[in-house]
């Protein structure tokens, strides 16, 4: 065999070996295995490992995240600071919160979708995290406590209340803005809240009715013992959120992981904002913390009179007093 023949034989062997391992079908199989392996790795990473989850700063990586039914619900009251409370709790590493108001128990259509639907509205969480959702209409809808009880009789309940006069004004202001959006006429608060014939407070006016805390509380207490319902002082939450959030952490049985330094007063907003993973100061949207219109003093006094007995009943029911009926305290802060 001369040099030329040897070269030719080597070359043809190489081509044969190569053609055995590089057929299009084999190349496709290798490529397929590679893609499947990559997808597998990604799925494992996102669903099983804390490495990929921005909420896990605890260096514990192998945990299963999934959507879970809430361990705790914020039931209201409407315009009492429910969004602020949820926003603060969201900062806690052991808590996940639903982004939107779910309205599962108060909306018949949603309720008919069942618990599976409700669970799907919840955020992903680690097994040792609490899931919380807030829908302020839960407090006042009479069917809700029984429905919540049927789902989970040991669920933790947070209720936030605020001076009923201010809550009523805030409630009507919210309705005004909604009306404006729909191109409707906006009437002064005094005109809406007073009965035009008698000049007295219209006790059936919705924003007034929703401030009868005792009426709704009685309904909740038919199903849940008082120690299962923690009451947050909404006025204190505005003035100084840290102590109120600290008490909520204790009630929920989670560590005290939101430091006082996370609450930053924002002079432009006129409210506290909170430090988060992604923001130096997360403030609530413009629909929270609106400046209230000036309301005639006589109307404020009439409202106070209407709420006085309801407030006393509420204090007795919850075994806790708030400043609303305390004349000295109320006049001190100009309410």
Q: Which of 232, 266, 222, 277 is nearest to 252 (CA)?
A: 232
Nearer to ligand PPS, 284 or 330 (CB): 284
Could you say which of 26, 290, 321, 332 contacts ligand PPS (CB under 6 A)?
A: 290
3-state secondary structure 252-267: HCCCCCCCHHHEEEEC
User: Do the annotations mark residue 297 as ligand-binding?
Assistant: no
Could you say which of 71, 78, 92, 304 contacts ligand PPS (CB under 6 A)?
A: 78
**Residues 138, 220: contact at Cβ < 8 Å?**
no
Shortest Å distance, C-beta 293 to ligand PPS? 11
Cα dihedral sign, 189-138-114-122: positive
Could you say which of 72, 73, 83, 102 contacts ligand PPS (CB under 6 A)?
A: 83
**Residues 92, 155: contact at Cβ < 8 Å?**
no
Could you say which of 148, 158, 194, 238 contacts ligand PPS (CB under 6 A)?
A: 238
Shortest Å distance, C-beta 114 to ligand PPS? 25
User: Do the annotations mark residue 288 as ligand-binding?
Assistant: yes
Q: To 10 degrees, the CA torsion angle through 26, 31, 35, 40?
A: 40
Instruction: Decide: is 81 part of the binding site for ligand PPS (CB under 6 A).
Output: yes
Could you say which of 139, 189, 212, 271 contacts ligand PPS (CB under 6 A)?
A: 271
* Stretch binding ligand PPS (CB under 6 A), from 41-49, 76-84, 108-116, 225-233: 76-84
**Residues 159, 76: contact at Cβ < 8 Å?**
yes
User: Do the annotations mark residue 79 as ligand-binding?
Assistant: yes
Strand partners, 72: 132, 156
> For residue 297, with 0-12 CB atoms within 10 Å meaning exposed, 13-18 middle and 19 or more buried, which class applies?
exposed
Shortest Å distance, C-beta 65 to ligand PPS? 27
**Active-site option among 14, 66, 79, 309:** 79
**Residues 152, 222: contact at Cβ < 8 Å?**
no
Instruction: Decide: is 289 part of the binding site for ligand PPS (CB under 6 A).
Output: yes
Binding mask 192-231 for ligand PPS (x = CB under 6 A): ----------------------------------------
List the alpha helices (DSSP H) in the chain.
3-21, 24-48, 82-90, 108-113, 115-120, 144-151, 164-181, 189-193, 206-209, 213-221, 234-239, 241-252, 297-318, 327-332
User: Do the annotations mark residue 267 as ligand-binding?
Assistant: no
User: Do the annotations mark residue 81 as ligand-binding?
Assistant: yes
User: Do the annotations mark residue 47 as ligand-binding?
Assistant: no
Instruction: Decide: is 300 part of the binding site for ligand PPS (CB under 6 A).
Output: no
Could you say which of 89, 157, 158, 237 contacts ligand PPS (CB under 6 A)?
A: 237
Distance CA 83, CA 134 (A): 8
Could you say which of 84, 95, 158, 208 contacts ligand PPS (CB under 6 A)?
A: 84
Which token pair is 233?
């002082």
DSSP secondary-structure letter at 294?
P
Can you tell me which residue has the tokens 């430090």? 275
User: Do the annotations mark residue 82 as ligand-binding?
Assistant: yes
Is 79 labeled as catalytic in the residue annotation? yes
Could you say which of 48, 67, 275, 288 contacts ligand PPS (CB under 6 A)?
A: 288
User: Do the annotations mark residue 292 as ligand-binding?
Assistant: yes
CB burial of 314-328 (b: ≥16 within 10 Å; e: otherwise) equals bbeebeeebbbbeee
Nearer to ligand PPS, 165 or 201 (CB): 165
Which residues contribute to the annotated binding site for 3'-phosphoadenylyl sulfate?
79-83, 162, 170, 272, 288-292
Q: Which residues bind ligand PPS (CB under 6 A)?
A: 78-84, 136, 170, 174, 237-238, 271-272, 284, 288-290
Provide the annotated active-site residues.
79
């Amino acid at each position: 065999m001369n040099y030329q023949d040897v070269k030719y034989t080597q070359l043809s062997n190489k081509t044969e070996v190569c053609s055995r391992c590089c057929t299009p079908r084999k190349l496709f199989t290798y490529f397929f295995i590679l893609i499947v392996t990559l997808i597998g790795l990604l799925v494992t990473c996102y669903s099983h490992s804390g490495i990929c989850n921005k909420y896990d700063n605890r260096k514990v990586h192998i945990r299963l995240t999934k959507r879970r039914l809430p361990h705790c619900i914020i039931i209201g009251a409407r315009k009492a600071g429910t969004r602020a409370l949820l926003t603060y709790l969201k900062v806690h590493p052991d808590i996940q919160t639903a982004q939107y108001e779910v309205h599962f128990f108060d909306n018949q259509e949603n309720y008919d979708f069942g618990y599976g639907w409700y669970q799907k509205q919840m955020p992903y969480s680690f097994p040792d995290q609490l899931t919380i959702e807030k829908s302020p209409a839960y407090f006042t809808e009479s069917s809700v406590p029984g429905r919540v009880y049927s789902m989970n009789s040991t669920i933790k309940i947070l209720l936030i209340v605020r001076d009923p006069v201010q809550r009523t004004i805030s409630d009507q202001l919210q309705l005004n803005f909604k009306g404006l959006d729909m191109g409707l006429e906006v009437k002064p608060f005094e005109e809406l809240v007073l009965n035009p014939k008698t000049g007295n407070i219209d006790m059936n006016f919705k924003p007034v009715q929703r401030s009868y805390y005792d009426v709704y509380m009685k309904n909740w207490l038919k199903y849940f013992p008082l120690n299962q319902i923690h009451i947050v002082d909404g006025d204190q939450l505005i003035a100084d959120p840290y102590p109120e959030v600290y008490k909520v952490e204790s009630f929920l049985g989670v560590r005290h992981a939101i430091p006082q330094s996370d609450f930053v007063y924002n002079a432009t907003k006129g409210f506290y904002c909170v430090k988060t993973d992604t923001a130096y100061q997360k403030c609530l949207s413009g629909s929270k913390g609106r400046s209230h219109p000036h309301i005639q003093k006589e109307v404020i006094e009439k409202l106070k009179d209407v709420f006085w007995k309801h407030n006393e009943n509420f204090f007795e029911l919850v075994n806790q007093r708030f400043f609303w009926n305390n004349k000295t305290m109320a006049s001190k802060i100009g309410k």
